[in-house]
Amino acid sequence: MKLSLVVPCFNEEENVIEFFKETTKAFKDKVDDYEIVFVDDGSKDKTFLLLKALYEKTNCVKVVSFSRNFGKESAIYAGLEQTQGDYTCVIDADLQQRPEVVLEMMQILDEDKSIDCVAAYQDERKESKIMTLCKDSFYKIINKISDVEFYQGASDFRLMRRPMVEAVLNMKEYHRFSKGLFSFVGFNTKFIPYEVQERAAGTSKWSFAKLFIYAIEGIVGFTTAPLKIPTFAGIGLMAVSFLYLIIALIVGAVTYNISAMIAVIFLLLFLSGMNATFIGIIGEYLARTYMQGKGRPIYIAKEILK
Ligand code: UDP
Ligand code: MG
């Protein structure tokens, strides 16, 4: 099998048939050996019935149907598990990502054996300024505090060689953040710009709130930096408490007015600082247990010659 497509679908009854048509049209005479793995992510509309009909009528379609909505990340995982292609592409069902771009990606992998993955990034964002600002800030923050690099504007739309797919499947963590996982597994990735199309039909399944929660998923899943906040705050507060004590005593000595309040305020600041520092220390151990608990592989080999 040359190519597998993984298509997560959530309430996409207006798009799945159109997607299939457009894809087969684009692949005609260009790719002869491909499969399309649709994952129905607990749709409440006719998505599954339409996919089932496609499955019965054609011989290049596979369908995974979820018992409820597990989210796009889980759908991608389930889809990847079913793929057999040398190349595998994750693509949305709403035709915002054109199947023609997949051909472009394939050509790059065909021509350059050193490249393992071609990922598309949005050259020009077709969204509100505030949304762009939020997304840009997210990338800035996460790239500063995480060891894994996140490519600005990159989407899940990408074509991967089999070893990379296997590596992503080996990351079995429950809270998934694909952009981070793709980056974590490494491999030589080439980024190409693409133009996002308007949704063929229906509306986006991502609200601002959902995106915000997803961004937190990315940060919490890929860095334990926030757990260091109490340590820094605590040490800072303890330093401030001493500074306060010195200044208060000097002022008190000069004005002959040393009250017990000084000791109370000092102790309040100092003990709060100590508390936060201890929480921070616990956080450090928690961070290590947390990362270990994810069971991520210690290394990922692309090839082993022996
Ligand atoms: N999707 C999914 N499960 C969800 C939300 C979305 O499988 O819980 C699918 C959706 O059907 C589409 C793709 O993920 O094929 C991208 O979703 P959408 O178009 O809503 O996102 P946007 O393009 O607005 O970022
Ligand atoms: Mg979309």
Q: pLDDT tens string for the chain (306 positions)?
A: 789 999 999 999 999 999 999 999 999 989 989 999 999 999 999 999 999 999 999 999 999 999 998 889 999 999 999 999 999 999 999 999 999 999 999 999 999 999 999 999 987 777 788 888 888 888 898 898 888 888 888 889 999 999 999 999 999 888 888 888 999 999 999 999 988 888 888 888 888 888 888 888 889 889 999 999 999 999 999 999 999 999 999 999 999 888 889 999 999 999 999 999 999 999 999 999 998 888 887 776 666 667
Both 172 and 81 in one domain: the answer is: yes
Cβ < 6 A, ligand 1 pocket: 8-10, 12, 41, 69, 71-72, 75, 92-94, 96, 204-206
Q: Which residue, among 224, 227, 221, has the nearest Cα to 173 in the 3D structure?
A: 221
CB neighbour list of residue 295: distance below 8 Å, 6 or more residues apart: 172, 173
Question: Distance, CA 263 to ligand 2 centroid (Å)?
Answer: 60
Q: Alpha-carbon Rg of the chain, whole angstroms?
A: 26
Ligand that lies nearest to the alpha carbon of residue 72, given by its number in the listed order: 1
Decide if 210 is inside a domain.
Answer: no
Ligand that lies nearest to the alpha carbon of residue 122, given by its number in the listed order: 1
Nearest-atom index, ligand 1, CA of 205: 20
Among protein residues, the one whose CA lies closest to atom 21 of ligand 1: 204
Decide if 219 is inside a domain.
Answer: no
Can you tell me the distance from the alpha carbon of 40 to that of 63, in angstroms, rounded to the nearest whole number? 7
Which domain does 267 fall in, by range? 225-294
Question: Distance, CA 17 to ligand 2 centroid (Å)?
Answer: 16
Decide if 158 is inside a domain.
Answer: yes
Both 143 and 239 in one domain: the answer is: no
Both 282 and 301 in one domain: the answer is: no
Both 62 and 148 in one domain: the answer is: yes
Task: Look at residue 201 in the predicted model and tell me its pLDDT.
Answer: 86
Total domain count, the chain: 2
Both 274 and 300 in one domain: the answer is: no
Question: Distance, CA 200 to ligand 1 centroid (Å)?
Answer: 13
Both 10 and 157 in one domain: the answer is: yes
Among protein residues, the one whose CA lies closest to atom 13 of ligand 1: 92
Question: Distance, CA 287 to ligand 2 centroid (Å)?
Answer: 34
Both 151 and 120 in one domain: the answer is: yes
Among protein residues, the one whose CA lies closest to atom 12 of ligand 1: 92
Decide if 89 is inside a domain.
Answer: yes
Q: Which residue, among 246, 251, 250, 242, has the nearest Cα to 271 in the 3D structure?
A: 242
Task: Look at residue 304 in the predicted model and tell me its pLDDT.
Answer: 63
Decide if 212 is inside a domain.
Answer: no
* Long-range Cβ contact pairs of 109-116 (< 8 A, separation 24 or more): 109/159, 109/161, 112/190, 114/188, 115/188, 115/189, 115/190, 116/160, 116/161, 116/163, 116/164, 116/187, 116/188, 116/189, 116/302
State whether the Cα torsion 286-292-296-302 is positive or negative: positive
Both 279 and 300 in one domain: the answer is: no
Both 33 and 178 in one domain: the answer is: yes
Both 300 and 181 in one domain: the answer is: yes
Residue 198's Cβ-side half-sphere holds a number of Cα atoms within 13 Å equal to 3
CB of 8 within 8 A of CB of 43? no
Decide if 211 is inside a domain.
Answer: no
Both 32 and 96 in one domain: the answer is: yes
* Cα 94 to Cα 137, 229, 300, distances in angstroms: 27, 41, 33
Decide if 111 is inside a domain.
Answer: yes
Question: Distance, CA 97 to ligand 2 centroid (Å)?
Answer: 8
Both 200 and 230 in one domain: the answer is: no
Question: Distance, CA 203 to ligand 2 centroid (Å)?
Answer: 8
Decide if 131 is inside a domain.
Answer: yes
Query: Which CATH number does the domain housing residue 151 bear?
Result: 3.90.550.10
